[in-house]
Amino acid sequence: MKLESAELRRLGDFTTKPRVLFIALIAVFVALASVAAGIVLLDLIRLCTNIAYFGRFSMDIADLAKSPFGIWVVLIPVAGSLAVGLMARYGSEKIRGHGIPEAIEAILLGRSRLDPKVAILKPLSSAISIGTGGPFGAEGPIIMTGGAVGSLIAQSLPVSDNERKTLLVAGAAAGMTTVFGTPIASIMLAVELLLFEWTPRSFIPVAVAAIVAEVARTALHMPSPLFPFSGTMPISVLGLVCWIGIGILGGLLSGCLTKLVYLTEDLFPKIPVHWMWWPMFGGLVVGIGGLIDPRALGVGYTNIEQMLNGTVAGQSALLLLAVKAIIWAVALGSGTSGGILAPLLIIGGAMGAVVSGIMPAATPGFWALLAMTATMGGTMRAPLTATFFAIELTGATGALLPLMTACVAAHGVTVLLMRRSILTEKLARRGHHLVREYRTDPFALTTVAEVMTNDVQSVPASMTLHQAVAFLTDPETRHPTFPVVDDDMRVLGAINPPAILRWRNQGMHRTATLGELLSGKKFVVAYPDEFLEGLADKLNKADVSHLPVITRDTGQLVGYVGWKDLMRVRLKLQSEDRNRSAFFRFMARNSAVAATGTSKSA
């Protein structure tokens, strides 16, 4: 049995400190502020809708199809989009778009610092955009607004950049929970998309914020689940095949929607006017789409209810799918302000309603639920978030397996067919590359003993300064740094050209021995049981490229390790991946050759 080393006794599973409790306490106040911001945003949307389409000051839920303004309603989205364009140009450009890419950019590149103007202008612009018919959801803007609230609170406190990021994401999670009543999905969104780490120091405060937000919205008698649904279907092989099929369709639809959004975004710069006016053109398309099918306007929560009830199907669902997808993509590509979750649910649900006629019998609305969830998961490339989102949104816990199956299938399709998601493509267009794969750092798994050089060339402590100069300048000397050892092979330090030059400049006599020159001086060493994660920090702090490796008990030299040894660990992993890929390419190539030969023979 291998005994635990001294290094392992020092290390633990996590590095989180008690300070996480302080950050979690702050997250409580961030959550409450985000809940307030979310409620204000929802009220503003209803107020803007009533003013724009009915000319009344009210916060009641309004049916846009019953507007008394007739054909003139086509101009309402144009007016709202103009207001958003003006706010973006003279307020802050960060209010453009659906908010999540901007939150990611602030986290990764902006030290999680958001402008106070964003916290004010984002909900206001979104309320105007959605309230005047914009085919968006409120979740993206409130995620950005909640994030801004968390960032502003953090900026006023003595916290680190990482803690500020945690509070920003805590505000975003609380905001999403406020709108939909989905605390678990909000936490999963943070893990899959916003935190870029999986550690207790960030997870605990974010979870606290989401939980507090759910408790607060419940105390305020906000409905939960938002769209009650209890449908499911028996588990069977046929059912499994159909769930996967819906997931594949959702993944393909996700790819088409992403391409459509960025295709329209590429077209708008070709219009010879300032970008401030682009939302107006998008608003005109929205207005025309509203004349064709008024259901496509606004957040459209009624559409989700009707699809889950099974009352939307066939040509009606196909019309809603086409109109909603086009006006949403054009409006979003024009740079106006709005979210993507609700539109994805509606577009995906409409697709599910269209194909439900050829699917096996299930509870009405079941296939629509699967399709809307798969479309959301595939488009955002967040399958766990989408699965838990659907369950919390509907309360349909019995549909967990079908939902997960569809989301995984959609995720696989989009990952294999598209380089980036709708959320990261915008960042790439701004010159930033984002990797969303989380892996255990090989440095945390590899010890110094596994990579060090065992055959070490050292110099004796009895070597004089003059001899050391001659040795280091000898063309046969292989590298510039060497450990200095005594007669018992205990390390006293290391020599290199800068050290020799420094001693000579200090007037040290040429006959002084290295042992005398290194006496009493501190030096950095590595240990065989030390992990490369800590070694990298040592090399960086000491500003050296190599370190002698000594035993912990006797201090004797047993090896030598440097930056190149660390890099070989990563190269080894990359080489293993290439070898596996080469094997599959070889098999595929041979299969293709065999198939060609069979065809020729035939």
Q: Are residues 311 and 369 in the same domain?
A: yes
- Domain annotation covers residue 578: no
**SS3 state at 76:** helix
For 284-319, what is each residue's pLDDT tens digit?
A: 999 999 999 999 998 888 999 999 998 888 899 999
Mean pLDDT, rounded, for 91-99: 75
**SS3 state at 77:** helix
Segment among 225-229, 407-411, 494-498 with least mean pLDDT:
494-498
Rounded distance between C-alpha atoms, residue 234 and residue 306, angstroms: 23
The full length of the chain comes to: 602
> 491-495 and 546-550: which strand pairing?
unpaired
Are 7 and 549 contacting, i.e. CB atoms less than 8 angstroms apart?
Answer: no
Q: Are residues 349 and 490 in the same domain?
A: no
For 148-191, what is each residue's pLDDT tens digit?
A: 888 889 988 898 888 999 999 999 999 999 989 999 999 999 88
- Domain annotation covers residue 225: no
Rounded distance between C-alpha atoms, residue 192 and residue 480, angstroms: 46
Per-residue pLDDT at 601 exceeds 60: no
The listed range with the strongest mean pLDDT (55-64, 71-80, 107-116) is 71-80
User: Of 382, 407, 429, which residue constitutes the final position of a domain?
Assistant: 429
User: Of 382, 404, 429, which residue constitutes the final position of a domain?
Assistant: 429
Upper half-sphere CA count for residue 398 (Cβ side, 13 Å): 11
Are 226 and 42 contacting, i.e. CB atoms less than 8 angstroms apart?
Answer: no
Residue with tokens 């092979």: 489
Q: Are residues 391 and 465 in the same domain?
A: no
What local confidence, expressed as pLDDT, does residue 247 receive? 96
For residue 388 the two structure tokens come to 């838990």
Residue with tokens 């009624």: 302
> 557-562 and 482-485: which strand pairing?
unpaired
Q: Which of the pair, 504 or 38, is modelled with greater confidence?
A: 38
SS (H, E, C) 235-290: CCHHHHHHHHHHHHHHHHHHHHHHHHHHHHHHHHHHCCCCHHHHHHHHHHHHHHHH
Are 152 and 114 contacting, i.e. CB atoms less than 8 angstroms apart?
Answer: yes
Rounded distance between C-alpha atoms, residue 271 and residue 231, angstroms: 48
For 365-386, what is each residue's pLDDT tens digit?
A: 999 999 999 999 999 999 999 9
H helix or E strand, kind and range, residue 500: helix 497-505
Please name every residue paired with 493 in a beta bridge, in sequence order, or none if there are none: 484
For residue 447 the two structure tokens come to 């010890």
Per-residue pLDDT at 594 exceeds 60: no
For residue 166 the two structure tokens come to 């945690």
Mean model confidence pLDDT for the chain: 86
Please name every residue paired with 447 in a beta bridge, in sequence order, or none if there are none: 531
What local confidence, expressed as pLDDT, does residue 408 receive? 97
Which residues span the domain enclosing 52? 19-219
Using alpha carbons only, how large is the chain's radius of gyration in Å?
Answer: 31
For 115-147, what is each residue's pLDDT tens digit?
A: 778 778 888 888 898 889 888 887 777 888 888
Tell me how crowded residue 61 is: count the other CB atoms within 10 A of its CB. Answer: 12
Question: How far are the Cα atoms of 63, 79, 131, 136 from residue 298, in angstroms, in the given order?
Answer: 10, 15, 7, 6
For 449-491, what is each residue's pLDDT tens digit?
A: 888 888 888 889 999 888 888 888 888 877 778 899 988 888 8
Maximum distance among all alpha carbons in the chain? Answer: 102
Are 101 and 426 contacting, i.e. CB atoms less than 8 angstroms apart?
Answer: yes
Q: Are residues 165 and 256 in the same domain?
A: no
What local confidence, expressed as pLDDT, does residue 577 receive? 59
For 321-361, what is each residue's pLDDT tens digit?
A: 999 999 999 998 898 877 788 899 999 999 999 999 889 98
Rounded distance between C-alpha atoms, residue 542 and residue 563, angstroms: 13
DSSP assignment string, 22-41: HHHHHHHHHHHHHHHHHHHH
What local confidence, expressed as pLDDT, does residue 240 receive? 95
Structurally, the chain folds into a number of domains equal to 3
Q: Are residues 241 and 323 in the same domain?
A: yes
For 527-553, what is each residue's pLDDT tens digit?
A: 998 888 888 888 888 888 888 999 988
Per-residue pLDDT at 60 exceeds 90: no
Query: Letter for the amino acid at 585?
Result: R
- Domain annotation covers residue 228: no
Query: Which CATH number does the domain housing residue 35 bear?
Result: 1.10.3080.10
Of 245, 547, 275, which is closest to residue 370 (Cα–Cα)? Answer: 245
Residue with tokens 């101009």: 75
What local confidence, expressed as pLDDT, does residue 214 receive? 95
Per-residue pLDDT at 403 exceeds 50: yes
Give the model's confidence band at 283: pLDDT under 50 very low, under 70 low, under 90 confident, else very high.
very high
- Domain annotation covers residue 229: no
Residue with tokens 């939909």: 180
Phi/psi at 114 (nearest 5 deg)? -115, 145
H helix or E strand, kind and range, residue 285: helix 278-292
What local confidence, expressed as pLDDT, does residue 7 receive? 64
Tell me how crowded residue 520 is: count the other CB atoms within 10 A of its CB. Answer: 5
Proportion of the chain above pLDDT 70, given as a percent: 93
Q: Are residues 522 and 387 in the same domain?
A: no
Query: Which CATH number does the domain housing residue 519 bear?
Result: 3.10.580.10
Q: Are residues 194 and 57 in the same domain?
A: yes
Rounded distance between C-alpha atoms, residue 364 and residue 313, angstroms: 10
Q: Are residues 24 and 167 in the same domain?
A: yes
- Domain annotation covers residue 128: yes
User: Of 403, 429, 455, which residue constitutes the final position of a domain?
Assistant: 429
DSSP assignment string, 530-586: -BHHHHHHHHHHHT-SEEEEE-TTT-BEEEEEEHHHHHHHHHHHHHHHHHHHHHHHH
Residue with tokens 């780490």: 197
What local confidence, expressed as pLDDT, does residue 427 receive? 75
Model pTM score: 0.83
Per-residue pLDDT at 510 exceeds 90: no
Are 24 and 170 contacting, i.e. CB atoms less than 8 angstroms apart?
Answer: no
H helix or E strand, kind and range, residue 6: helix 6-10
Q: Are residues 24 and 142 in the same domain?
A: yes
Q: Are residues 74 and 118 in the same domain?
A: yes
What local confidence, expressed as pLDDT, does residue 595 receive? 53
The listed range with the strongest mean pLDDT (283-297, 425-439, 441-455) is 283-297
- Domain annotation covers residue 188: yes
What local confidence, expressed as pLDDT, does residue 602 receive? 45
- Domain annotation covers residue 130: yes
Give the model's confidence band at 582: pLDDT under 50 very low, under 70 low, under 90 confident, else very high.
low
Q: Are residues 400 and 368 in the same domain?
A: yes
- Domain annotation covers residue 594: no
Per-residue pLDDT at 1 exceeds 50: no
For 246-267, what is each residue's pLDDT tens digit?
A: 999 999 999 999 999 989 989 9
Of 204, 202, 103, which is closest to residue 147 (Cα–Cα)? Answer: 103
Q: Are residues 419 and 302 in the same domain?
A: yes
Residue with tokens 């967990």: 400
Mean pLDDT, rounded, for 549-578: 80
